Amino acid sequence: MRIAELLEKRRQGWLELERMCDSFRSVKYPFANQGSLVSRFSALYRAACTDLSMAEQYQLPPATVEYLHRLVGRAHSQLYRSRQFATHRWFHYMSRVAPQSIFRDPCVKVAFIVFFGLFTLSAMISWSEVRFPGFAERILGADQIKALETNFDKPLEKNFNDYVMMSGFYIKHNTSIGLQCFALGPLILPSLCALAYNAVVLGASFGYMARSDVEQGDVFFQFVTAHGVFELTAIALSAASGLRLGIGLFATGGLRRVDSFRLNAERALPIILASVVLFFMAAFTEGFVSPSPLPYFFKACVAILSSGLLMYYFVVLGYPHPDIDREIANSEDNPWRSVGVDHATR
């Protein structure tokens, strides 16, 4: 049990490892181009690991064991560092995995049906003044209708300054709302409420503006045509991601609740990422194209082009295809890999 000599032999190694950990803390890539450093570090680390595993046998005092635990922990987190952001991997994820994952997700379908269903319904009710008098006024409120009308009173004409500033505002404001929809997903109701609220209010505004007796309608549609496609899709997608996250807490599919939550977060991520990208694109369109005095023809072309783009991404890239299936089936990035079996047996 004379462990003094033993500890003395080991201690220099521990201290050296400790010093190396200290010096790495402030360095971003501590092991870049330093093979000898890596091998020295890992040798010391393995030695400390061995000491730790032999601690019981050596009968090291508890405080020394505690010290070794922390030392090994620190060295471990230096040696196995987080993988850096690999661009090609993210490109593959966004171009291959994400559309497939989004296309097959039932939550996306539900969110789209809820959003565009309520939107259309609300727009039609609000539009047919004769059958449903006062609907738009009750939904939007007289003040907001007035604000809408004054907003689109004058023909669109703004300068470059306004374009840039407004796109900044749209990025911050709209994308934040989308991300909030995702973040509040585990509580389910906030996501769904935000979705339904947006659908009804937007629908009512569109319907009201489409009435033949509202003069500002022309300018309004001049404004919304270009970015509407991106923005409406983004709203629906962000709520879908929140829904997917929340569903995971209830429909566990035989997994433990925690595992199911984790798996569904993995499935929700491509949806919210796509939604953020769409919010950004919508913001720039809304900032630059929508308020410009360009002819309506051009704006309609932008809308058609963006619809085509969305179709390509979500349907052409997303439609299940045996080749793509084979390519991504076992990829660890694919959140739908071998649906649940892998996780259930773990």
Of 66-74, 97-105, 113-121, 222-230, which part binds another protein (CB under 8 A)?
Answer: 66-74
Burial label, 290 (beta-carbon count in 10 A; 0-12, 13-18, 19+): buried
Of 99-107, 140-148, 177-185, 218-226, which part binds another protein (CB under 8 A)?
Answer: 177-185
Q: Which lies closer to another protein via its Cβ, residue 18 or residue 137?
A: 18
Residue 161, interface with another protein (CB under 8 A)?
yes
Place of tokens 């050296």: 16
Of 114-122, 173-181, 196-204, 215-223, which part binds another protein (CB under 8 A)?
Answer: 173-181
Q: Which lies closer to another protein via its Cβ, residue 203 or residue 248?
A: 248
Cα distance between residue 231 and residue 227, in whole Å: 6
DSSP string covering 150-218:
HHTSSPP---HHHHHHHHHHHHHHHHHHHHHHHHTGGGSHHHHHHHHHHHHHHHHHHHHHHSTT-TTHH
Residue 64, interface with another protein (CB under 8 A)?
yes
Structure tokens at 54: 């032999």
Smallest distance, another protein to C-beta of residue 280, A: 10
Would you say 200 and 281 are in contact if contact means Cβ atoms under 8 Å apart?
no
Angle at 221 between CA 220 and CA 223, to 5 degrees: 70
CA distances from 296 to 155, 205, 213, 218, 224 (A): 12, 20, 20, 10, 11
Q: Restricting to residues 235-254, which ones interact with another protein according to CB under 8 A?
A: 245
> Number of residues in contact with another protein, rule: CB under 8 A?
75
Would you say 310 and 282 are in contact if contact means Cβ atoms under 8 Å apart?
no
Of 54-62, 122-130, 217-225, 336-344, which part binds another protein (CB under 8 A)?
Answer: 54-62
- Give the 3-state secondary structure of residue 149: helix
Smallest distance, another protein to C-beta of residue 94, A: 12
Q: Restricting to residues 286-325, which ones interact with another protein according to CB under 8 A?
A: none
**Which residue in 10, 20, 21, 244 binds another protein (CB under 8 A)?**
21
Residues 183-220, buried b or exposed e (16+ Cβ, 10 A)? bbbbebebbbebbbebbbbbbbbbbbbeeeebebbebb
Residue 109, interface with another protein (CB under 8 A)?
no
**Which residue in 126, 167, 222, 275 binds another protein (CB under 8 A)?**
167
Residue 342, interface with another protein (CB under 8 A)?
no
Residue 179, interface with another protein (CB under 8 A)?
yes
Smallest distance, another protein to C-beta of residue 342, A: 14
Residue 271, interface with another protein (CB under 8 A)?
no
Q: Which lies closer to another protein via its Cβ, residue 3 or residue 113?
A: 3
Smallest distance, another protein to C-beta of residue 237, A: 14
HSE (side-chain half, CA atoms, 13 Å) at 278: 27
**Which residue in 23, 34, 38, 66 binds another protein (CB under 8 A)?**
66
